[in-house]
Amino acid sequence: MASFADALRVLNDMKQARVVEDYAVAGAMAMVFWTEPVPTFDLDVLVFLAEDAGPIVSLAPIYDWTAARGYSTQAEHVILEGVPVQFLPAHDELADEAIERAATLQYEGVPVRVVRPEYLVALYLEPGARTMKRRERAAALRESPAVDPAVLEGLLERFGLEP
Amino acid sequence: MTDAPRPRSRPTPALLASLREGKSTLHGQRASMTLREKVALVLELQRVCLPLIKRHRRLAPWEQPWSVTP
């Protein structure tokens, strides 16, 4: 059986192969790196698609690359080493920054890019993403010592987000 | 006409503070687990939560416990 680290290795392989320019783990699995774990069934990954992918955003290069390596898809998820992964192209400047300023952490010896907690909270508080579940996660993160309140406040102000 | 509420004994502020402190300690302990332990807990939560979620709505095809080790 594969390990969670194997799925993370595939993300790094995709970056090395320039299928994606960069990536950062987001969502509930990013929370695992910063605070206590919450239930989740997929791994959200924010990505910058490769620059030569063209002006129209398409995940086809990702699906093609993973399919060529034998990874299946289920709905919009790619199953990487047993882990359903959803690739989310950066949708705005906040997401851009979340990827650019992601922390490079280690999981069982595998480097992994992870969205920093203040950006996770800000992403959860974006108007389009404000579900009850995400608000709860944002609240849980804000109680965590991992979040720097001054950094978070600056982000919310700069991106016009309501706390 | 309803009966007047029956007086009930209440927890002391000290007991409430102790219970809240216990909860806070539990969250802190979970947050300070190793990453491997946290991923193992996520896998365990998947197994526990899935039957409960299934009772309330149809599951997406990818909503399954992951076939991985932590």
- Mean pLDDT for all residues in chain A: 95
Local confidence band at A52 (pLDDT 50, 70, 90 cut-offs): low
Q: Where are the domains of chain B?
A: 34-70
Q: What was the pLDDT predicted at A129? A: 80
Residue A51 or B43, more confident:
B43
| Chain A interface includes B30 (CB < 8 A) | yes
Q: Do A6 and B36 touch (CB under 8 A)?
A: no
Query: Residue A158 carries which side chain, given as an amino acid letter?
Result: R
Check if A81 contacts B (Cβ < 8 Å).
Answer: yes
Query: Please, which pLDDT band fits residue A98 given cuts at 50, 70 and 90?
Result: very high
Q: What is residue A130's predicted lDDT score, i.e. its pLDDT? A: 80
Q: Which residue has the tokens 């906040």?
A: A94
Residue A75 φ/ψ region, left for φ over 0, alpha for ψ in the -120 to 50 degree band, beta for the rest: left
Contact predicate A5/A112, CB 8 Å:
no
Q: Would you identify the CATH topology of the domain A4-115?
A: Beta Polymerase; domain 2 (3.30.460)
What is the CB neighbour count within 10 angstroms for residue A22?
16
CA nearest B27 in A: which residue? A36
Cβ–Cβ of B66/A4 closer than 8 Å? yes
Complex ipTM: 0.91
Report residue A54's pLDDT band, with 50, 70 and 90 as the boundaries: low
pLDDT digits (tens, 9 = 90+) for A74-92: 989 999 999 999 999 999 9
Q: Do residues A62 and A68 touch, judged by C-beta distance below 8 A?
A: no
Asked if the Cβ–Cβ distance from B39 to A4 is below 8 Å, we say yes
Nearest chain B residue to A107, by CA: B35
Contacts of A108 (CB under 8 A, 6+ apart): A3, A4, A5, B35, B36
Contact of B13 with chain A, judged by CB distance below 8 Å, is answered with no
Cα end-to-end span (Å), chain B:
60
